[in-house]
Amino acid sequence: MKLQGKRVTLHDMSLRDGMHPKRHQITLDQMIAVATGLDGARVPLVEVTHGDGLGGSSINYGFPAHTDEEYLRAVVPKLGFTKVSALLLPGIGTVDHLRMAADCGVATIRVATHCTEADVSQQHIGLAKKLGLDTVGFLMMAHMIPPEQILVQAKLMESYGANCIYITDSAGWMLPDDVTARVALFRAELAPSTEIGFHGHHNLSMGVANSLAAVEAGATRIDGSVAGLGAGAGNTPLEVFAAVLDRMGAVTGVDLYKIMDVAEDIVVPLMDHPIRIDRDALILGYAGVYSSFLLFAKRWGEKYGVASRDILVELGRRKTIGGQEDMIEDVALDIAKQQRTR
Amino acid sequence: MKIRAAIIGSGNIGTDLVIKARRSETIDPVWLVGIDPASDGLRRARELGLKTTHEGVDGLLPHVEKDGIRIAFDATSAHAHAETSRKLTRKGVLVIDLTPAALGPYCIPPVNLKDHVGKREMDVNMVSCGGQATIPMVAAVSRVQPVEYAEIVATVASKSIGPGTRQNIDEFTRTTAAAVASIGGAKKGKAIIIVNPAEPPLMMRDTIHCLTEGEPKVEAITRSVHEMIEEVQKYVPGYTLKNGPVFDGRRVTTFVEVQGLGDYLPKYAGNLDIMTAAALRTAEMFAQEIAQGTFVLAPKLD
């Protein structure tokens, strides 16, 4: 694989996707410490919001320690080099949240939909572009449909005004060939000015390998998370990926020693549990289930006396998608009923 | 004597409403109004003997008096509603709004239909499919004890929602959240919508979370929830309690499924059915008032 001289923009997820394993309880001081650390390491972009994006504060996904606005107003003014992005899932957040985030000074808005439902994002992508923001379309659970079908959705987001389209492996299910097929088709068919991004989860330990495949096929933005802090078995560990890219001669502009130190000295100590591929995280990747279901499956499994792995497999069988956290308790109740009648 | 009605919008909702209204004992659907001459809904309506136009509400207006149209259902979009409503109410037509525009007062039949009697409102709003499916459950809790916060998650099959709903997804969440509070009886409301593309399409599912003030009264709430399910089943037979009510601290959660009748879209589209069935039930109540002479429709002046 030849990546010599390729430029890659690294985008850190620890303060957004990383909110999932922290049950959205990261404090303002912790956010500032991580973000300023990443600023010192010259990571170009960090995402800051509730784990489920702007407006995600809920019974369904969890109430955060602070509002999106409190987090953004705390972090944005502290950064020099690093810019801040905010995630928005139409159906959860609205353009009102988007305007608030823009007012807080975010540079990038990422509008996320399930991979087949891009047409719910028109209002939000349109507004972000109108506000002059770096506007990203984020197609989640991208493993669920073949490359030709997801291309149609990418073109919709491009037509609404997105200047970058992401292939988002929310379940950590993809293998490098799956990534290559999708990114290469996007690169061939989208406008040359449209950037392509890849967001991985490490449930099958493929975060780094998949991200390399994405870069080779033409992606220029890669999501990862410092120390891997993210849903499921975490995101692509950003400091590891930065080191690999450095070895291969690709250009990220990131200070490797400094990002390593952020991982080790700031992020690892704030973890509630080690981010690793336990059997439930492995099942997410193996069965193609949304990564942030992990802790909910453990919680409801414990409460109702059901194996969390059985809950996750059933959620996969029911073809649940991102956002359907309510179905985790429902499935646990169903399985518990079946166990009683057996 | 049946009250004659027009249906504006020939998409999924309007066409389903045509089929349901034809079975009504008090409403006679006379017109279906669209904007696309090739619309499947307009073709179906013509086959069923309705008058149709593809020139939007302006194509209907010249016929309102002559055809004795007293009630119109607006199944277009939130953006189009204000103009449509103005044109129709000026001619003394009562408008039942199925868009999330929410200009008029909200109506969730098993919760507040009776409140609309005698009010002579010319434009009432049906909130949203998610609102119709969930607000009765919020009300079932709030009529037992105060609800500090209610949150609903509506999951619908991708195939069951058309371009109007997709473009108006923010209006859906805002309007539904507002009605969860004002009609459901929660101090604060939130709404989440998920569009799931699974094949075969999944039935509409709704999860209703309430946080009660103080410890929830388990027995009274459970009884109230079951009674409310039966109320909704009177007009949506496929409305069922899948799980719950679950009590977890102050959280009370019910899980419901909404199976449609399969009139226009297949049975998975319970979201469509609960909206059209609720709108029809509302129109029938007004039709009764109009027929009895207790509600005299008069042109609404700007």
Using a CB-CB cut-off of 8 Å, the residues of chain B touching A333 are 243-244, 246, 255
Do B38 and B156 belong together in one domain?
Answer: no
Using a CB-CB cut-off of 8 Å, the residues of chain B touching A59 are 149, 151, 209, 211, 251, 253
Domain count of the fold of chain B: 2
Do A189 and A334 belong together in one domain?
Answer: no
The answer, for A95 touching chain B at a CB cutoff of 8 Å, is yes
| Average pLDDT score over chain B | 94
B138, B151, B170, best to mutate vs chain A, most A CBs in 10 Å: B170
* Token pair listed for A289: 């289930």
**DSSP state, B203?**
P
Mean pLDDT of A114-134: 98
Do B164 and B236 belong together in one domain?
Answer: yes
B51 falls within a domain: yes
**Share in percent of chain B as helix, strand, coil (round to 5):** 40, 25, 35
Catalytic residue among B111, B129, B225, B256: B129
Do B265 and B134 belong together in one domain?
Answer: yes
Choose the closest CB to B192 out of A91, A120, A334.
A91
Do A87 and A236 belong together in one domain?
Answer: yes
At B115 the pLDDT is: 87
B48 falls within a domain: yes
Q: Reply yes or no on whether the pLDDT at A184 is more than 80.
A: yes
At A10 the pLDDT is: 98
Using a CB-CB cut-off of 8 Å, the residues of chain A touching B242 are 330
Nearest to B11 by CA among B124, B141, B162: B162
Task: Report the Cα B217 to chain-centroid distance in Å.
Answer: 30
φ, ψ of residue A226 to 5 degrees: the values are: -60, 130
B195, B212, B250, B268, best to mutate vs chain A, most A CBs in 10 Å: B195
Interface touch B163/A119, C-beta < 8 Å: yes
φ, ψ of residue A17 to 5 degrees: the values are: -60, -35
- Interface size A-B, in CB pairs within 8 Å, comes to 90
At B162 the pLDDT is: 83
Using a CB-CB cut-off of 8 Å, the residues of chain A touching B173 are 91-92, 94
A1 falls within a domain: no
pLDDT in tens, A186-241: 999 999 999 999 999 999 999 999 999 999 999 999 999 999 999 999 999 999 99
A52, A54, A57, A60, best to mutate vs chain B, most B CBs in 10 Å: A60
Q: Reply yes or no on whether the pLDDT at A342 is more than 80.
A: no
Query: Nearest residue of B to residue A119 by CA position?
Result: B166
CA distance B96 to B20: 15
Do A63 and A173 belong together in one domain?
Answer: yes
Q: What phi-psi label fits residue A141: left (phi over 0), alpha (psi between -120 and 50 degrees) or beta?
A: left
Domain count of the fold of chain A: 2
Q: Give the range of the structural domain holding residue B60, as residue numbers without chain letter.
A: 3-126+276-292
| B210 is a catalytic site residue | no
Task: Report the Cα B238 to chain-centroid distance in Å.
Answer: 16
A2 falls within a domain: no
Mean pLDDT of A12-22: 98
Cis peptide before B37 (omega within 30 of 0): no
CA distance B288 to B302: 27
Mean pLDDT of A79-102: 98
* Token pair listed for B109: 């039949």
Q: Give the range of the structural domain holding residue A220, as residue numbers without chain letter.
A: 9-270
Using a CB-CB cut-off of 8 Å, the residues of chain A touching B244 are 333
Do A47 and A114 belong together in one domain?
Answer: yes
Task: Report the Cα B104 to chain-centroid distance in Å.
Answer: 13
CATH number at residue A186: 3.20.20.70
Residue showing tokens 């850190």:
A12
Task: Report the Cα A70 to chain-centroid distance in Å.
Answer: 21
* SS3 label, residue B45: helix
At A78 the pLDDT is: 98
φ, ψ of residue A199 to 5 degrees: the values are: -125, 115
Mean pLDDT of B174-202: 96
At B302 the pLDDT is: 61
Q: Reply yes or no on whether the pLDDT at B100 is more than 70.
A: yes
Interface touch A117/B244, C-beta < 8 Å: no
Q: Reply yes or no on whether the pLDDT at B77 is more than 90.
A: no
CA angle, corner A83, sides to A80 and A89, nearest 5?
155
Put simply, whether the predicted model's pTM sits higher than 0.80 gets the answer yes
The alpha-carbon gap from B213 to the nearest alpha carbon of chain A, in Å, equals: 15
Radius of gyration, CA atoms only, chain A:
19
The alpha-carbon gap from B208 to the nearest alpha carbon of chain A, in Å, equals: 9
Query: Nearest residue of A to residue B241 by CA position?
Result: A330
The answer, for A117 touching chain B at a CB cutoff of 8 Å, is yes
The alpha-carbon gap from A111 to the nearest alpha carbon of chain B, in Å, equals: 13
Do B152 and B174 belong together in one domain?
Answer: yes
CA distance B22 to B59: 22
| CA quadruple A34, A38, A44, A46: dihedral, nearest 10 | -10
Q: Higher-confidence residue: A134 or B297? A: A134
Domain boundary among A270, A289, A324: A270
At B31 the pLDDT is: 97
Interface touch A95/B170, C-beta < 8 Å: yes
Mean pLDDT of A15-37: 98
